[in-house]
Structures are given as structure tokens and as C-alpha cells.
Structure 1
Amino acid sequence: VHDLAYPALGIGDGVAQTKKHGVALGALRQPFGKNQDPITARIGHTHGDGTVRVDVDWARWTGCASGTEDALDLARRCVQEWKQFFAVHGLNP
């Protein structure tokens, strides 16, 4: 799944790879391999009064892009992008 076509999944993959390897997996390789500019993403901080919210801080390895996402919103967008990916490729989830 290409993270330019499915940006939320790219950030979600960055969270998984960063948790597993400490940095985005592509950043451990020289050259980067399939992903020329992997995303490193971590839990930023939690906040809220009564309802806790969690932020995900992310950045591309080259530093050309970065941001902060609400974790729940990101998860919802990931689900939608997976559904879109399945539909485009004729897969039945």
C-alpha cells in the first residue's frame, strides 16, 4: 500500500515500524528500499478533561513533511482507506 495514495495508512505504518524498530524500517536500510522516504511516528501526548485524546507525532525521514494527528481520527481514516483499497483491488474484507 503506497502512502501517497493512502496517507493515513502511511502514518499508521510509521507508528507500527517505529514501535517495532525504533525508527521507520526504511530508515534502517541504505538505500531506503521500496519506501524512499519512510515515516517515523510516535505517540506525542495525551490530553483532555473527562475525555482523553491521544496525539500521534509523525515525520518523514528526510524531514520534508511532519505533523500531528489525533490518534482516533487517524484510526478511523485508516479503516476507510483499507476499505477503499479493498474495493479498488476487488478484495472482500
Structure 2
Amino acid sequence: MADAPESAEPEWPAVCHDHGHDLTGVPPGEPCPECGDTNRKYLVTAETDVVTAAHNAGLEIEYIPERSWREQWGRLLDDLDAMERLADGIGERPLDPREVVDAFCAECYILKEWLRKDPALPQKARNGVNTFAAGSTTIHLACAVHNTHKHYGRDPGYTTARVSPVRIPDGVRVSWTITWHKPDGTSGTTDALEMARGAVADWRSYFAAHGLSESE
């Protein structure tokens, strides 16, 4: 049997693993001429993130401190798409379908924080995020689901919301219901997919009101 071909040397800048000395021109496996380290890292620039690839070992990702709110918005849209697909009976269903709704609600909450703290946004847009989110029935409910899940319940004075029940009547299409209880004693249920669609629509109305584009 022929030997497997050796992997090609990545064409990225290389530094020694422990001290970061430049290893340009030093063959793989040869020690660093400065410190003798034989481990190396390859530095890869991928859009806004700096990726460090350790040769034949794995990956480390170092995120730059200021990342656009649009990155988080993209995650939220991906989660909505995952819910839509499961509702249509498309794609792989997780063992616990509630995870998909929990993920959407978590990203919805995180988007609120990213919008509030993104230094690239106008101050007016940043300052108004919490008030807007609290006034949106769908965004507020998504954040309540996230906080209930994160804290294993809510303290008095806050809305409690959980994804229950989940139905798969034909064994294929998934539907989720959110059961909620408000501090004033009222309670009810909301279709989770309708909540998610409404939250995305409300966020888009906020973007439009503040002249924010979804794309760069």
C-alpha cells in the first residue's frame, strides 16, 4: 500500500507557538531559531476575525473587540430559518425541538445587547433599544423565554415564559407553544413561530426608524 501523501505546508505566516517568533522560511518540524520551540501557529485573516491554526493540531479563534450588530442579526435570522424548516418538516430535528426556540430567544436577547453597545451605531439608536424591546410584545416575550430558561425561573415581578408544549402531530412537522405568566397574574399561550416572525418584523421596524441597514 502506498504511503499517504504528506499534508501541504499552509501558505500562511507562521510563528512559534510559545513566543510568537517569526518562522518564515523555517521548514515545519525545525525548531525556532530564537527559542527552540518546535510547535508553530499559522495566522489566518478571515474577514473580521483572526484565526490561528496550529499545524496538525486544531484551531484557535481570536475575536476582535468591536464586531457589528449585523453579525448577531444574521444568527437570529438563521434561527428563524431553522424554526421555519422544522415547521415545514424539513431538515434534521433535534432530540429536543425546544432547543431551536430557546436558541432563537437567546439570540434575540443578545441582539438587544449588541445594538445597545455597538459603538458604530448612532447614540440615539443605542439608547432606545431597551425601551423599544420592552414595548414589543414579541421581543419582550422572546427575552422572557431566554431569561426563564437561563435562570431556571424568574424572580417576582418578571414575566415567566417557557416553551411547552411541543407538538409533532404527523411525526414530521413541529409546532411549539409558549406558555407565559405575567406579574399581574394574567397568563396565556403564544405560538412560538408566530412570536419569532413577529420579533424579526419588529426589529426590522426599529432598524428602519433609525436608518440602519441590515447589510454593510
Band the TM-score falls in, shorter-chain normalisation: 0.7 to 0.9
* Counterpart mapping for 1:12-91 below 5 A: 12-24=142-154, 27=155, 37-50=157-170, 51-63=173-185, 65-91=186-212
RMSD: 2.0
Could you tell me how far 1:11 is from its partner in structure 2?
A: 0.4
Mapped partners of 2:190, 2:208: distance in 1: 25
| Identical amino acids, percent of aligned pairs | 30
Letter of the 1:21 counterpart: H
Higher strand share: 1
Q: Secondary structure at the match of 1:84?
A: helix
Could you tell me how far 1:5 is from its partner in structure 2?
A: 2.7
Count of residues in correspondence between the two structures: 82
Mapped partners of 2:142, 2:166: distance in 1: 18
State the TM-score, normalized to the length of structure 2.
Answer: 0.34
Gaps (5+ residues) in structure 2?
Answer: 1-129
Mapped partners of 1:84, 1:67: distance in 2: 26
State the TM-score, normalized to the length of structure 1.
Answer: 0.73
**Higher relative contact order structure (alpha carbons within 8 Å, sequence separation ≥ 6):** 1
Residue 11 of structure 1 corresponds to 141
Show structure 1 runs of 4+ deviating over 4 A.
none
